[in-house]
Structure 1
């Protein structure tokens, strides 16, 4: 028998330039691409860029200034210097009823209020995102039970409970305030994330990942979570802006931080009489304007970050 089969060359030994893996240096890193998208979106939106510059300036001024100012000496009462108008006797923003410098209280108070807003946002977002992911991904009886717990918390008289807790908690501090607020304000985020995850869990890429044997943890946090990053970023931004005003409202009602702890809320809460509102605007107006400016800046930055997230999702 003569073997008529010709010896075929082994093509597996010949490197194909089309499928040869490229060098790592030729592949742009995802972090670099993400940073380029952020720069591009902010350069396109001049308002968001200006808001970012203003917010960074405020944050640097507040946190650097708070390291220089001595809080104990700042809060020392000096009745001989009470209600000095702004720009007089060396006081940039004047003094309050106790003769304490308003400018120093504005710096320290802004630091405390920013830390409160940031702390509440981080804790509530972490709880809400994890809770919503689990509820929306598994669905069924798990979703029913978890959502009934959320419904029960949401129907509670939250404001009254917070006021009671603020009154009875011993050694009430900024950390206590953050923990109390975070215990009730995560439910809205959980419902929002759960509704989005329910729609994502029914898509083909989730079924394909389950078929390939990926764990539920990997699918939720590696597949589903990045696809809802846009709504998370927007919610985080709006929540941070809103949480800055939570302490202000409670302080105005008399249930915020203790008077010995300066904050933007305690400064605004000093506007408790017609005389102070009309004739002593330096006591409460700077804090009110600072809250307004920070909220506007955060909202504009959040809109730009939403476009960044949408662009990154389109690029894959």
Structure 2
């Protein structure tokens, strides 16, 4: 049975994969779901598509109300509130018809911030994991194939990196940096978490390079990089994919913790961690339960789904089950 067939037999992992797909769809369509500008609008002979993303100067001071009065036509989003749009007359309002998930201390819509925060949190998870998978695969493949001095250097660097707890290493590095965007957060997470991938790939390359088909390629004069890319890495990526799935969950949790400590995504950008950071000041506010409940649920269900998918992939790629 194929790996996908074994994965499909794990119903819980399959449900988790569907849930992740829904989260990814929400993140991808954030501007279609909640925005203070239309999906598309035609004003004074000009058509603007997704102006909330492009921010054309002609619409710099416009919102849905003003555009409705001026536009020839427009396509509104599902919820007509942006993630950074304050409403000082609706501060800390509980969930209701106007704000399905309530508002925060500035009157910003929690649903809009949660939807746009999904995109930022998933981007941080995916790109940071992509960076450390790339580093780990390259270093692990080189160490496993060439051995000798290369293997010794990579192994010693890996051991040094493993000597420091990842979260505190990330915290220390970001503590001396000026974080003005999500890029430093992603880069630092990516540069400090590649060690597990490197060791996995190194072990797989050491095992696979003695196989007959690899030896045949070497005997025919194939370049080392071609053998690694053509024969070794495709057969070693199963464990890496499993590690990456768990890694995305870990990166989201790290970003959440960093934001809570003031080292994460700078406000007013909305990430799930930043939402919890802003909400913890109002934990004791009478009835302000929605500020922590909904971001907390989003983090919990996303991380749980990622872990369930990771476990399903681990079982699917387990050679003992083939």
TM-score bracket, normalised by the shorter chain, equals 0.7 to 0.9
In the other structure, the counterpart of 1:48 is 13
Q: Deviations over 1:166-212 (max 9, x none)?
A: 35545611223212221222223212322332233344443333222
Long gaps (5+) in structure 1: 1-32
Higher helix fraction (1 or 2): 1
In the other structure, the counterpart of 1:260 is 268
Q: Deviations over 1:135-191 (max 9, x none)?
A: 111111111122223333444576556445535545611223212221222223212
TM-score normalized by structure 2?
0.76
Q: Deviations over 1:202-224 (max 9, x none)?
A: 44443333222222112212222
Partners of 1:168 and 1:69 lie apart in 2 by 35
Q: 2:215 aligns with which of 202, 207, 215?
A: 207
Q: Does structure 1 residue 166 correspond to structure 2 residue 131? A: no
Q: 1:125 aligns with which of 130, 133, 138?
A: 133
Long gaps (5+) in structure 2: 37-51, 53-81
Partners of 2:159 and 2:221 lie apart in 1 by 34
Q: Deviations over 1:48-68 (max 9, x none)?
A: 222222222222123213345
Bigger shift: residues 278-287 or 261-270: 278-287
Partners of 2:200 and 2:250 lie apart in 1 by 16
CA contact (8 A) 1:276 1:283 kept: no
In the other structure, the counterpart of 1:15 is none
In the other structure, the counterpart of 1:83 is 92
Partners of 1:291 and 1:114 lie apart in 2 by 10
Partners of 1:306 and 1:167 lie apart in 2 by 35
CA contact (8 A) 2:87 2:106 kept: yes
TM-score normalized by structure 1?
0.77
Larger radius of gyration: 1
CA contact (8 A) 1:85 1:280 kept: yes
Which structure 2 residues correspond to residues 1-316 of structure 1 after superposition, within 5 A? Answer: 38=4, 40-70=5-35, 73-87=82-96, 90-155=98-163, 159=167, 162-163=170-171, 165-167=173-175, 169-170=177-178, 172-273=180-281, 275-276=283-284, 279-309=287-317
How large is the Cα RMSD of the aligned pairs? 2.8
Bigger shift: residues 206-215 or 128-137: 206-215
